[in-house]
Amino acid sequence: MARLREEGAHLSERSESGGAEGRTPRIAAAVAAATLFAAVAAVLALTTPWNPLPGSVPGGRVEPDPALDFSPAEIARSRAFDSAVNPPAYAGLAAGLVLVFALGFTPLGARFIAWATARTRHRFLRIIVATVALTTLLRVAGLPFDIWSESVLRRYGLSTQTWPAWLVDQFKSLAVTWVICTIALLLLYAVVRRFPRYWWTGAAAGGFLLVVLVSFIYPIAVEPVFNKFHSLQQGPLRTDLLAMAERDGVPVEDVLVADASRRTTSLNAYVSGFGSTRRIVLYDTLLKSPPARVESIVAHELGHAKRDDVLYGTLVGALTIAGSMCLLYLLMTSPRLLRRAGVPSTGPREDRSGGAADPRSVALVLALVAAGTQLGAPVQNLVSRRIEARADAHALNLTRDPSTFVSMQHELSVRNISDLNPDGMEYLLWMTHPSGPDRIAMARTWARMRHVPEPPPLR
Strand partners, 278: none
Query: What average pLDDT does range 52-61 have in this prediction?
Result: 95
82 to 160, 414, 415, 418: CA distances (angstroms): 19, 13, 14, 8
Query: What average pLDDT does range 405-424 have in this prediction?
Result: 96
Amino acid at 244: M
Query: What average pLDDT does range 39-46 have in this prediction?
Result: 98
Task: Please state whether beta strands 269-272 and 279-283 pair in parallel, antiparallel, or not at all (unpaired).
Answer: antiparallel
pLDDT tier, 3 (very low <50, low <70, confident <90, very high otherwise): very low
Query: What residues contact residue 248 under an 8 Å CB cut-off, 6+ apart?
Result: 299, 302, 306, 398
Which pLDDT score is estimated for 277?
Answer: 66
Q: What is the pLDDT of residues 91-138, one digit of tens each?
A: 999 999 999 999 999 999 999 999 999 998 888 999 999 999 999 999
Residue 426 has pLDDT above 70, yes or no: yes
Enumerate the domain spans of the chain: 19-227+306-450, 229-305
Tell me how far apart the alpha carbons of residues 277 and 309 are, in angstroms, rounded to a whole number: 14
Q: Catalytic site residues?
A: 301, 392
Cα Rg, the chain, nearest whole Å: 25
pLDDT tier, 8 (very low <50, low <70, confident <90, very high otherwise): very low
Percent of the chain with pLDDT over 70: 92
| Residue 346 vs residue 59, higher pLDDT | 59
Q: What is the pLDDT of residues 201-241, one digit of tens each?
A: 999 999 999 999 999 898 889 999 999 999 999 999 989 99
Residue 348 has pLDDT above 80, yes or no: no
For domain 229-305, say whether CATH 3.20.20.60 is its number: no
Q: What is the pLDDT of residues 249-276, one digit of tens each?
A: 988 878 899 999 999 999 998 887 776 6
7 is in an annotated binding site: no
Which pLDDT score is estimated for 11?
Answer: 39
Angle between helices 123-155 and 163-194 (to 10 degrees): 150
Residue 248 has pLDDT above 70, yes or no: yes
Residue 147 has pLDDT above 90, yes or no: yes
Residue 414 has pLDDT above 70, yes or no: yes
Percent of the chain with pLDDT over 90: 82
Which pLDDT score is estimated for 349?
Answer: 47
Q: What is the pLDDT of residues 312-336, one digit of tens each?
A: 999 999 999 999 999 999 999 999 9
Residue 63 has pLDDT above 70, yes or no: yes
For the entire predicted model, the pTM comes to: 0.91
SS (H, E, C) the chain: CHHHHHHHHHHHHHHHHCCHHHHHHHHHHHHHHHHHHHHHHHHHHHHCCCCCCCCCCCCCCCCCCHHHHCCHHHHHHHHHHHHHHHHHHHHHHHHHHHHHHHHHHCHHHHHHHHHHCCCCCCHHHHHHHHHHHHHHHHHHHHHHHHHHHHHHHHHCCCECCCHHHHHHHHHHHHHHHHHHHHHHHHHHHHHHHHCCCCHHHHHHHHHHHHHHHHHHHHHHHCHHHHCCEEECCCCHHHHHHHHHHHHHCCCCCCEEEECHHHCECCCCEEEECCHHHCEEEEEHHHHHCCHHHHHHHHHHHHHHHHCCHHHHHHHHHHHHHHHHHHHHHHHHCCHHHHHHCCCCCCCCCCCCCHHHHCHHHHHHHHHHHHHHHHHHHHHHHHHHHHHHHHHHHHHHHHHCCHHHHHHHHHHHHHHCCCCCCCCHHHHHHCCCCCCHHHHHHHHHHHHHHHCCCCCCCCC
Number of other residues whose CB lies within 10 A of the CB of residue 91: 15
Tell me how far apart the alpha carbons of residues 309 and 433 are, in angstroms, rounded to a whole number: 14
Q: What are phi and psi of 353, to 5 degrees?
A: -80, -15
Q: What is the pLDDT of residues 19-29, one digit of tens each?
A: 555 688 999 99
pLDDT tier, 10 (very low <50, low <70, confident <90, very high otherwise): very low
Q: What is the pLDDT of residues 179-191, one digit of tens each?
A: 999 999 999 999 9
Weakest mean pLDDT among 40-49, 301-310, 340-349: 340-349
Query: What average pLDDT does range 40-47 have in this prediction?
Result: 98
pLDDT tier, 453 (very low <50, low <70, confident <90, very high otherwise): very high
Residue 18 has pLDDT above 70, yes or no: no
Q: What are phi and psi of 159, to 5 degrees?
A: -105, 135
pLDDT tier, 354 (very low <50, low <70, confident <90, very high otherwise): low
300 is in an annotated binding site: yes
CB 235 within 8 A of CB 257: no
Q: What is the pLDDT of residues 149-190, one digit of tens each?
A: 999 999 999 999 999 999 999 999 999 999 999 999 999 999
388 is in an annotated binding site: yes
Task: Please state whether beta strands 255-258 and 279-283 pair in parallel, antiparallel, or not at all (unpaired).
Answer: parallel
Which pLDDT score is estimated for 121?
Answer: 86
231 to 162, 228, 273, 283, 288: CA distances (angstroms): 26, 10, 16, 12, 16
Which pLDDT score is estimated for 23?
Answer: 82
pLDDT tier, 36 (very low <50, low <70, confident <90, very high otherwise): very high
Query: What average pLDDT does range 279-286 have in this prediction?
Result: 91
Which pLDDT score is estimated for 21?
Answer: 57
